Structure 1
């Protein structure tokens, strides 16, 4: 018999925002919850890191949509008693995304009508197709949002009646809708310019994903005051205030199953923790194939998981300058080398050349200018991102960091990393002008970096691009007591998607439809239990969990916080 060290009502494996939201709602619902995170900071892709005691860089929170009155993210946080503890700063309503092509610049404004108007101005002669496209996408987004917030239990027939446009187009690809609308390559590129938001090409992504992601931002684009770590730290406070626990630097090696029922987890040090419910916020493929084991799943599910295609991985440059960036709006910049996004993805599949096809810029120091940890006064902090081909081969690596391979001193890896960094800098200066002489910090993160910290298959931050038939994603698990949340599951990738999935998972476990409740104003968490925040409050320290809060090694920014 295995020695059981502790027992809990629910154990959450992984502390991305999906896992933290689920854990927070379970804790607020009276369950004894434990969150286990192999990294030393909770937050997953929402965490931040600090350099030179002067700069703080966001890993994955570049901007959020729908954070105004009636927004889904504020409702999820408000339902936990966090309405006054997480604030959002709105980006430029007249153009929160600036798309730059060789012969067109489009500032994406709030609202479908204004967005359509800008597109028609940039694409004279394609108005009919643009109107069809906007009508389809807006209708699907509205149908999906309505389903998300309804408290009704719908039959399959009722569901079809409520979502006619989704039934018609939802699982078809964006490429098919583009073809239906008769778009030129330039139109296709402008409309899919922000595809780095979901890490899929037009031939991969479903119309539903593109429509809901686009609608999310057209409801208003925002940035959390204080950076992405504010989200994770605030959720950790809720979990701990309601009797739950976060343990960081705690690696789960196995989710234990007996007679098709979850019984708990086993840690790297041999500790066994018991629980009748385990929520995996780990990478979906690793959950099925490694943590639980394929022997516990139907053969068809294992086959789909083995054959699943992850989203494209990404390379990110973290840049700091000793001067301010002038002449730029409070907006993201999406720069494309040419008017052929389909060709760009096709070429990218063969390797990232010295002519980078597209870049995404996120300017943290413009989005959050008053937060002292972002950068010193008069300096700039921004990130430059692009996609790259999947696989280890081009990096000179065989198995990857999850398998224990040491890669950071590998000569081939360092050579390729330096080459891509230079290529991205060249393209970046083409996009925004010279800045290299002002660089005070430059750091490159590759797909192997992503895998090292989050253990994501293929080093992608986007989860699954395909799993079985088009447009489908894993949802119900055949093992009793086992649930999954995160990028690779039903609600897809992105902050709102994984937070929504966390609420949905907690709803299933607690047996109540939580999202419609909290969107209507219900508060399940008790805000009076939350700790006071003084001038030294640090979201990174909070995100270590109680047991490691005072551990050494936490970087601080020159006395801030």
Structure 2
């Protein structure tokens, strides 16, 4: 009798697991991807897509999902849900959709506010397939020069310069030439890069299985027996690279893709993963970053959804049972309610849980516990410069420059943040220059953006929370919002950058299926059909 009950339980469990993994219709297909059409240069036609203002008559009927925020995480979640048959509305407080993927035009110059370059979009990569699906093949990417980054360390006559090349074998080989005395350190770090790239899906899995199972695997130590990524995700970058070499310049190379925290507070796995991200090339979207929002929104609209701007959400509506059921949107001097059974937030965890939840909800212990896991991120100071001349006349290159005051990133950052606001401008520890001019030329336009501006535009600071070592502890990655029917998307779910936010959207629990299985199926189908070239 007990054996029969056990066998029935096993059959039910196996059948349920199979249905969860493979039994649901895929939102993705090769057939939905078409050749890129002519680029739309008519700004009025573009504005009808990315600058469509909020009105109740533009809200689709019988909404299934409301998405707060039109960054890449919100748009990816919206497009995926729309293609899965859901009626989706994306709401954006700014006057243009795209979040940190949007651009602005001033004095005839178009500036990107967040996207500088992106990796892993080579033909038939998983990220490229995802972009193809949410834009239905309309996004195109231009590969940058193989020499995509230059790193400068020190000042004046003490300045040293190193170059980073893309390429499956060239990246490591080029670095070995520049640090011939640190062969073993570089080879070991590149092994960590490979592990990070191939095994990070184990971290993602924590978002796809019940939380009690995740925590059991982690706290029991079983997870560490399966893969080293759980240990690496919680390993301090400074401590780890100190075991590899005493060369401080090489320490900078291993952590130069700075995402808001010094190496002593960052995860070696994430630092390694960021460098690996560009191993197969650095790319830029043809037509600029706004092409990303433009084409993804058109996908959402194609399947019955919409994206509306100038729609500041003032509150997430929560019923007496503690479940989200819509939002309040400020329209002029009034607030209007828009209802949907599911709300997805892509506007930052602090905005979501501290600002948008009703007062009686946000004070609850489980909300405060979730917030206490995070710290507010640092802002950045941006300078946008426009020059009079063509790319050829000005000697513009696609290579980016990272300049560091010295080779002790931990100390220089600590010293900088201890300065007064009067001292800080003369003691900047690092600088990033993208698309620089190689020659002196006439500067005709310049504008700066402070952390205050960044807060006002995309809806949060550059990073809504610190991507510190604690943030990448496996237990933290296993968490999600404690409010029923309220889900997080994008950057808050997984990691930083365009790719990190996109993957965070694909991991969004509201999808209720593992879409990576569908993407992998398309990848294999493409390889079999030879459609990837």
Normalized against structure 2, the TM-score is what?
0.76
* CA positional deviation for 1:81: 5.4
Tell me the residue number matched to 1:339.
407
Q: How many Å separate the matches in 2 of 1:299 and 1:145?
A: 30
Q: How many Å separate the matches in 2 of 1:15 and 1:469?
A: 24
Residues 309, 467 of structure 1: 8 Å contact kept: no
Cα 1:310/1:37, change in 2 over 3 Å: same
Q: How many Å separate the matches in 1 of 2:77 and 2:346?
A: 10
* CA positional deviation for 1:520: 3.0
Q: How many Å separate the matches in 2 of 1:468 and 1:132?
A: 24
Which residues in structure 2 correspond to 1:139-154 (within 5 Å)? Answer: 139-145=195-201
Cα 1:230/1:517, change in 2 over 3 Å: same
**Structure 2 counterpart SS, 1:256:** strand
Cα 1:309/1:300, change in 2 over 3 Å: same
Which residues in structure 2 correspond to 1:264-343 (within 5 Å)? Answer: 264-268=326-330, 269-293=334-358, 295-296=360-361, 298-306=364-372, 308-323=374-389, 324=391, 329-343=397-411
Residues 394, 439 of structure 2: 8 Å contact kept: no
Tell me the residue number matched to 2:143.
90
1:503 has 2:506 as partner: yes
**Structure 2 counterpart SS, 1:108:** strand
Residue of structure 2 aligned with 1:442, choices 432, 439, 446: 446
Cα 1:143/1:50, change in 2 over 3 Å: same
Residue of structure 1 aligned with 2:131, choices 63, 77, 82: 77
Q: How many Å separate the matches in 2 of 1:333 and 1:463?
A: 25
Residues 10, 34 of structure 1: 8 Å contact kept: yes
Please list every run of 5 or more consecutive structure 2 residues that lacks an aligned counterpart in the other structure.
Answer: 1-58, 525-533
Q: How many Å separate the matches in 1 of 2:261 and 2:85?
A: 39
* CA positional deviation for 1:58: 0.5
* CA positional deviation for 1:208: 2.2
Residue of structure 2 aligned with 1:254, choices 315, 322, 328: 315
* CA positional deviation for 1:148: 5.8
CA deviation map 1:448-494 (0-9, x unaligned): 110011221xx23464324966533474222111001132x231110
Cα 1:218/1:163, change in 2 over 3 Å: farther
Residues 104, 122 of structure 1: 8 Å contact kept: no
* CA positional deviation for 1:329: 4.2
Cα 1:283/1:202, change in 2 over 3 Å: same
Q: How many Å separate the matches in 2 of 1:345 and 1:147?
A: 29
* CA positional deviation for 1:164: 2.3
Please list every run of 5 or more consecutive structure 1 residues that lacks an aligned counterpart in the other structure.
Answer: 364-381, 383-431, 524-561
* CA positional deviation for 1:306: 5.0
* CA positional deviation for 1:20: 0.7
**Structure 2 counterpart SS, 1:296:** helix
Residue of structure 2 aligned with 1:465, choices 464, 467, 491: 467
Residues 149, 519 of structure 1: 8 Å contact kept: no
Tell me the residue number matched to 1:357.
429
Residues 79, 522 of structure 1: 8 Å contact kept: no
Cα 1:135/1:123, change in 2 over 3 Å: same
* CA positional deviation for 1:293: 4.1
Q: How many Å separate the matches in 1 of 2:395 and 2:315?
A: 52
1:28 has 2:83 as partner: yes
Cα 1:307/1:146, change in 2 over 3 Å: closer
CA deviation map 1:180-215 (0-9, x unaligned): 2233322212222221xx222101211222122211
Q: How many Å separate the matches in 2 of 1:331 and 1:58?
A: 16
* CA positional deviation for 1:522: 7.8
Alignment: residue pair count? 442
**Structure 1 counterpart SS, 2:163:** strand
Residue of structure 2 aligned with 1:231, choices 278, 292, 297: 292
Normalized against structure 1, the TM-score is what?
0.72
Q: How many Å separate the matches in 1 of 2:228 and 2:100?
A: 32
Q: How many Å separate the matches in 2 of 1:218 and 1:113?
A: 8
**Structure 2 counterpart SS, 1:443:** strand
**Structure 1 counterpart SS, 2:467:** strand
